[in-house]
Structure 1
Amino acid sequence: MIRDVKVSNNQVLVTLSGEIYVEESTVLREQLLQCLEKGLSHFVFNLSEVNYIDSSGLGVLVAIHKRALQNKGQVTIQGLNGSVKELFELTRLTKVFPTE
């Protein structure tokens, strides 16, 4: 579930919680693409309250990461834990995204 998307100091701060499935991913992708269109390219995702994310959710993160890099930005992931952290490690996304 998308808890919050806000812009602060030219960064897009995204807080997610619960379970991230296709429906949430579609909404999230649209919101983040609007941010990219406005020229924002630095994203910080707080996943500390996420207990599940499916492949579509991971796909959104990867797609936004790719677009952010093209615009000289980056995506940072915060708060990985539990099965979500294991999934990031298993898929080697911990090597793709800076994590905190």
Structure 2
Amino acid sequence: MILSIQEEKENVRVTLGGDIYVQDASTLREQLLPYAEEGKSNFVFDFSKVTFIDSAGLGVLVAIYKRAAQNNGGVRIQNPQPQVAEIFTLTRLHHVFSVDPS
């Protein structure tokens, strides 16, 4: 699921891959929340290799967004596959996150 995490000053770049289901969400949360708690404010997720994300995975992204917003930052989703971009649209999360098309 997580392919890599890179830190750059206040930014965290996360490359994800495959399907993100409920069983992956807790791992994702455990690995990413410490960065937000350290004060990292901008999270950039490369979704080019993600084929599906369920509500638990979306919940983790929302939790990261809330922490980032407390630090005057945000979450950017880059290169989502069409079926994943549709999930962000259907859930209206494209109004919360910056979603950059592929």
Give your verdict on TM over 0.5: yes
Report the equivalent of 2:24.
24
> Contact between 2:13 and 2:44, CA under 8 Å: does it hold in 1?
yes
Output the CA distance in 2 between the equivalents of 1:24 and 1:61: 12
Identity of aligned residues (%): 53
- TM-score scaled to structure 1, two decimals? 0.93
Question: Which ranges in structure 1 are unaligned for 5 or more consecutive residues?
Answer: none
RMSD: 1.0
Deviation at 1:26, TM superposition (A): 0.7
Runs of 4+ in 1 over 3 A off after TM superposition: none
* Count of residues in Structure 1 that have an aligned counterpart in Structure 2: 100
Verify the 8 A CA contact 1:2 1:24 in the aligned structure 2. Answer: no
What TM-score do the two structures reach when normalised by structure 2?
Answer: 0.91
CA contact (8 A) 1:19 1:53 kept: yes
Which structure 2 residues correspond to residues 1-100 of structure 1 after superposition, within 5 A? 1-100=1-100
- Whole-Å Cα distance in 1 between the matches of residues 47 and 25 of structure 2? 14
Cα deviation 1:14-65 (Å, max 9, x = unaligned): 0100000122211111111110121111100111110011110000001110
